[in-house]
Structures are given as C-alpha cells and as structure tokens.
Amino acid sequence: MPKEPDGTGKTAGFWRDYGAFPVKNKPMQFWMVKQEPEAYSWDQFLIDGRTAWTGVRNFQARNNLRAMKKGDLVLYYHSVTGREIVGIGKVCRTAYPDPTATEGDWDCVDLEPNRPLSRSVTLDEVKADAVLKEMPLVKQSRLSVMPLTKAQFDRVLKVAEGGR
C-alpha cells in the first residue's frame, strides 16, 4: 500500500479507514474508555452518533480526558458485562466543563463512533497477550479513561482481525 505523504510511515489505508489524519508536529494519541453496556452500550453509541463523555469523577481519568485532542482514536470497552473491547471511536471535541458535575473541577470530551471491531477482544485475551497485558486496563483496572501506546492500539486491532 502507498504511504502517507506526511512521513508518518503509516499506510494510506489506515488513515482512510479510521477517518483520522495526524496533524503535523502533533502525534495522534490513543485511548480507551470503559462503560457498562447496561448504562451506555456501543450499540447505543452507534445509534446516537456522538456523545459527551460525562460523569468521570476520578482525577487521573479526568486528566486523561484533558489530554485528549481532536482526532485521537479511542477504543470502547464494555466493562462488568462482557468485559471486551468492542469498537473504535474518535475524539471530536476536546475537554470542556462537565455539565453533569454539581461541584468540583470536572471535564468531559465529545466522542463519535468510528467503527466496530471485526470481533471483540476479551479481557482474557488482553491478559494473555504479551503486549496487551501491560495496558492500564490490566494494571489499573478501576481507571475508566486510559492512555494506550500506539503498539497497544495496533495490537488490539490485529487481535480483533484474528492475528497472533
């Protein structure tokens, strides 16, 4: 496949498929958000087409929200029920005051769905994989918004496609 002319070394297909292009001098970041499917499922996210990621009341998770940039890619994880990574979203609005917060200094971001994974990646698969077992999902299991390395993000995609 041809490479992007911006020198990122990524294939043209990657950037086209994910609807995100890196901004010059600002590398794309990768994230994961966790949500109980009974509270707000991936399917509902797809129907809504966009959502404000509100209700985060953990300082580290809040700081992660504040670090998100427009165009960053976000894996969507179903927690409690299912315990699996089910889709890819994208940050479409950077941090702003969380309208659901009645006190404190809390922010939210807006996310939009990009696409579901071709198959879900379970927590057991994450824990069994040499690259993925180092993710905050395993190391800091209570964190609801977490950064990922590019290698971790790419590995999730490969596992979802049936790769080893």
Closest among 65, 78, 85 to 129, alpha carbons compared: 85
Give tens-digit pLDDT for 45-54: 999 999 999 9
Q: What's the pLDDT score for residue 117? A: 98
| Fold topology of 26-158 | ph1033 like fold (3.10.590)
Q: Is the pLDDT of residue 19 over 70?
A: no
Give tens-digit pLDDT for 67-82: 999 999 999 999 999 9
State the pTM of this model: 0.84
Q: Is the pLDDT of residue 5 over 50?
A: no
Give tens-digit pLDDT for 99-126: 999 999 999 999 999 999 999 999 999 9
